[in-house]
Structure formats: C-alpha cells, structure tokens
Structure 1
C-alpha cells in the first residue's frame, strides 16, 4: 500500500454556488468537508430546489469564508463579499434582497447544522475530487490555463504517477489518508457552471464544450466518506 500522491488543495464553499475558500486543514464529517454548502438559498419558484449559478451565474462572483474556529454545535459566522466589494453577514436581509435581484426569483436562505448537511446541498456525493494531472492535460488539449476553481472540487490531488484521468479507474477503491478514508464512487458529469470564469465572473461557453469533446462530459470523481477525521494540505494518501 504505497504512496499514491498528496493532497495539494482543500476547498470548501460555505454558501452553495458562491466562490469558496482554500484552507490549510479541515475536519471531514460524514457529509463531507466541514461547512461545505452548509448555507444555501432555496428557489421559491421551484419548490424544494436550490438557487444555483446555473440559474444565476453572477453568484460565482460572491465569495464566502468562515470567520472563526470550527465548532461542533454551530458553524462560525460567514463573511460574504460581493463583486463590488460590499460585505454582508449571512443574517443580513440585504443579501437576500440582492440574490432576488440577481436571479429575478424569490429566495429563502437556509442554514444547516455541523452535524448534518444534506447531500443535495453538497452536490451528489460527499466529496468532489480532481487531480493536477488531469487539469494539466486539459490545459494541453484546449491550449489555455484552467483555474481549478471552475470545477468546484473539494480536494485537488497531486499524484505520484503523472497520468491524467487515472482517477476514473478508481471506482470502488479507497483513498486512505492519515485519519480520513474516502471511497471513490463514480464520475462527475459536468454542467454549465464550469463555464463561469471564477476570476473574472464571465461566461466562457467553450469550457463545457471542450469537456464534452475530449472527456464525454466527465471531469473529476465523487467520493463518499468512510472514516472521518482531520485532513491537511500536503498529506500523503494511498490507494486501496
């Protein structure tokens, strides 16, 4: 059970469809990375559905970060920054009003607890993973730099063997870190959210077209949490 690679980047998105934050270390809970998509806006025009950047691409231009230590009983306060630099707290009704203007829909803010964030809020599985090898290969194929934040992964892995897309052969296998164990479940089928440039907050339709063209619309893999614990950047993992 040799070293398969190391953990390059940890990302979490405290608010669903907002830009997230890169963290040095994080607690991995049964639902995934602590606080990931723990806050969201329900789309009142589509009962039971979340408002996402698919309906309102401008959401990607808003950033959300936790301010304070991770607590078991409740999430820390969130600091939200708009593209124009305005700062809001999650409780600020002006934020809700801004989301309604941005989307043209009635919305309702929801906040989950640290003990339970539903799968639908996170996405379709607990953890989303991409690799540097696959990112570099896609950059070669399309001839331009790709910001990994487009793919909204929780973990970016640096592999020992620099073989692109090898993660698509891992289904049913486990990634074993120092404390955490993840089981790779299935591929991530992409949607139009990857067309949104996370730096400039503009639409670049060629990104999804290229993922269709070169990867049959698959990029990255979903994993479930089999053992919880602390996860840190630079940590090695093995593949079982």
Structure 2
C-alpha cells in the first residue's frame, strides 16, 4: 500500500501537461487527458514515434498545454500563450510543418496504448541509480499517476500486470509494461535533455518503464488517495 503522490493531465498529446490535485476518471482515463492532438494534412497525429496513426513531430515536446474550462490553452516554445482555437497558422510556423491543426479526439482515442499510465517512486529511484547525472521525475515519461510506493521493491508496478489496483474511488486493471520512445530523453519544461536515457532503459529493462492500465471503475482521483493492489483480474482487450 502507498499513496497517490502526483496527478498529471496532458490536454494535447505529446505536449507538456498540467499538474492536478484531483480529477475525474472514466472509461477513457483522466477527464480531458490527451483529448486533443496536432493533426497534419494526411490525417496523422503528432507523437513521439511513428505508427499507422501517429507521426513523430520534432519540437512538439517543447509546447505545453492546460485547460481553461473546456478549452486547451497552449504555451509555445517562445513563451506565447494562445487558446487552442484558431491557432493553425501559429502551430504550422512553430513546427515548420504546413497544414497542421489542433484536433479533438473522435471515435478512436489519442492514447498510444491504454487510458492510464502509472509510474512509482521506487522505479524512479531504481532508474536514477542506473542513469547517474540525469534529472528524473515522472514528467519525462508523461505519466498520469505517480504512486509513492515507499520501500516497495524496485519496479514494483511491473509485478502488477494482470492485477487490479485500487486508488481511492478508482479501480484499474494493469495491462502491460509501458514501452518507451525517444520522448524520455527530450528536454521538457525545466528538465534538461537526457540523450542517453532511452539507451539506458533499453539496456537495463528491455525499453520498458512504468505500466499501462485500463479503468475498471471510475470516480474522482485525488492526491493522497491510498492505493492497494488487489486480486488478479481476467483480461479484457
């Protein structure tokens, strides 16, 4: 058992996000998380890696987003702060990609693998020992939830795959370990670049860090909520 130490929501996929003290959680994850993404002229969405739906957009990590009500507000790398409505030209110029726009999620979620991403303090401490000189916190991994696991074993969350975890009112099923990409080594807000971090994670943990989960029971999730690992749950794709 331990507690929820931090909550993060990312209004726009692959941009820096906002730290919260509480948030509603439903089937698609934290309310408003990755609800928007930058879409190019071909219909692909900006991400840290290439896939059938996503394309890597260098520079996207240097933006940040937060909500003003239901509207995402975007902070540009040059310090401009603009509402997410009608910033097509500004995004195109800043990213040097023509015909991009901020697009709200439609039928298919903007999440890479699962609605909720968890990391633990024990895993961060374990990785810090193997990546000396790297400034580490959960923001490098775009985690939604940081769990303070105290003196739990290293990479405690990896043993939860296939199990249910209760976080206050919310219950999650841990589906798999999270596979990392180049984003972990990019500068983010006050975190400097860590160009060798992805290689380190690859060497010591097969390119994975943290876990991905789905929501079994929603509710309001709060910093300070107690977390507890429950019984093994049947997997539902």
Q: Normalising to structure 1: TM-score of the pair?
A: 0.86
Report 1:137-148 matches (<5 A): 137-144=126-133, 145-148=135-138
Equivalent position of 1:91 in the other structure: 85
Note the C-alpha offset of 1:174. Answer: 0.7
Separation in 1 of the partners of 2:17 and 2:29?
15
C-alpha distance in structure 1 between counterparts of 2:118 and 2:104, whole Å: 24
* Partner residue in 1 for 2:112: 123
Following TM superposition, by how much is the alpha carbon of 1:143 offset from its aligned partner in structure 2, in angstroms? 0.8
Aligned residues: 222
Q: Alpha-carbon deviation of 1:37? A: 0.6
User: Structure 1 pair 77/53, CA: closer, same or farther in 2 (3 Å)?
Assistant: same
Alignment correspondent of 2:149: 159
Structure 1 counterpart of 2:167, from 152, 172, 177: 177
1:16-55, Cα deviation, whole Å (9 max, x unpaired):
111100000000011000000111122223x4x2122442
Aligned counterpart, 2:208: 218
Residue in structure 2 matched with residue 10 of structure 1 by the alignment = 7
Moved more, 155-164 or 210-219: 155-164
Find 1:168's aligned residue among 147, 158, 161: 158
CA contact (8 A) 1:60 1:201 kept: no
Q: Which of 36, 39, 54 is the equivalent residue of 2:36?
A: 39
Aligned to 2:104: 111
State the partner residue of 1:135. 124
Distance 1:207 1:160 in 2: 24
Q: Name the structure 2 match of 1:66.
A: 67
1:238 and 2:228 aligned:
yes
Aligned to 1:84, what secondary structure does the other structure show?
A: coil
Change (3 A) 1:103 1:129: farther
Deviation at 1:103, TM superposition (A): 4.3
Distance 2:155 2:107 in 1: 29
- On the 8 A contact 1:58/1:201 being kept in 2, the answer is no
Match of 2:73 in 1: 79
* Counterpart Cα distance in 2 of 1:130 and 1:201: 18
Q: Aligned partners of 1:81 and 1:189: how far apart in 2?
A: 28
Runs of 5+ in structure 2 lacking a partner?
50-55, 231-237
* Aligned equivalent of 2:25: 28
Shift of 1:122: 1.9
